[in-house]
Amino acid sequence: MLEAVEVLSARMAQTESQTDEAGLIRAAQKGDQDAFERLVRSYDHSVLRVAMNLLRSPDEARDVYQEAFLKVYRNLHTFRFDCSFHTWLYRIVTNICLDHLRRRKVRREESTVVETSEGVVDRMSQLEEGAPHADPERQMWNRQLGGKIDQALESLTPRERAVFELRHYEGLRLRAIGEMIGTTEEAAKNCLFRATQKMRASLEAFV
């Protein structure tokens, strides 16, 4: 009996996870809040990861998360299934991230590095301290490398940075990245080359 209940609950869970995404989008378009929330949950981890990797600032990543999903909420009724929902959402997220990066360039801010009473602190490097069992030497190395990588990333243009991060950390194809940032696959490829050359020059001691 217990086994039958387990099988039944496993099947129910399986059916639930197989729910048609298009059906979910259509329900959300008709105002079904529960469907919208399920849609958000299917993608929000990736959205936050993209924002974290692109901006390397938890605060800005939170802003991008909220701005992107509010935009999706307001404009979901205009989504026509011309492309996949994933592509549509990533286009929104990338554009918001690019706006943040451009604003940051204008302000000439180092978003992850802040001045405190104890001196200059990199907020991103502090996040790693949550792993209590990790090797201290490795943590030190990671911090040094992390600082250098952040500096190298800051030297890229917003577009170069977006192309590199989306290709390297999100595994997106150059063609898809080109579509997202409104350019061709070839231009995205050139951008990737410039970005990697600049970063490798900055990180020469580490690679």
Partner 1 sequence: MNCNEVVREIPPYCYGEVSPAIEETLEAHLADCPACTRELAKHRKFLTRMDERAEMPDTGMLASCRTDLRTAISRVPAPVATNWLESFRNLWQLNIPFRVPVGAMALVALGFFAARVTPERFGGMKAGLSEPMFSNVRSVEPDASGQVRISVDEVHRRMVSGALGDANIQQLLLEAAREENNPGVRVESIGLLKNNVDSEEVRNALLDALTRDQNPGVRLKALEGLRPYAGNKDVRKTLASVLVKDENAGVRVQAIDLLTTHRDDSIVGALQNALQYEDNTYVRAQCERLLAEMKASVGTY
Cα distance between residue 172 and residue 27, in whole Å = 28
Kindly state whether residue 66 participates in binding partner 1, applying the rule CB under 8 A: yes
Query: Which of these segments, 44-52, 89-97, 100-108, 113-121, binds partner 1 (CB under 8 A)?
Result: 44-52
Q: Decide if residue 144 touches partner 1 (CB under 8 A).
A: no
- Which of the ranges 93-101, 102-110, 114-122, 130-138 carries the binding residues for partner 1, by CB under 8 A? 130-138
Taking each helix axis from N to C end, the angle separating 33-55 and 21-29, rounded to the nearest 10 degrees, works out to: 110
196 is an interface residue for partner 1 by CB under 8 A = yes
Q: Which of residues 155-174 bind partner 1 (CB under 8 A)?
A: 167-169, 171, 173-174
> What burial class does residue 41 get, using C-beta atoms within 10 Å of its C-beta: 0-12 exposed, 13-18 middle, 19+ buried?
exposed
By CB under 8 A, name the one of 27, 60, 146, 154 that touches partner 1.
146
Angle at 167 between CA 141 and CA 84, to 5 degrees: 140
DSSP β-bridge partners for residue 122: 113
Dist. CA 157–CA 153, nearest whole Å? 9
Q: Cβ(153)–Cβ(207) under 8 Å? A: no
Q: Does 49 bind partner 1 (CB under 8 A)?
A: yes
Q: Which residues bind partner 1 (CB under 8 A)?
A: 10, 13-14, 17-18, 26, 29-31, 33, 36-37, 40-41, 44-45, 48-49, 52-53, 56, 58, 61-62, 65-66, 69-70, 73-77, 80-81, 124, 127-128, 130-131, 133-135, 138, 142, 145-146, 149, 167-169, 171, 173-174, 189, 192-193, 196, 199-200, 203, 206-207
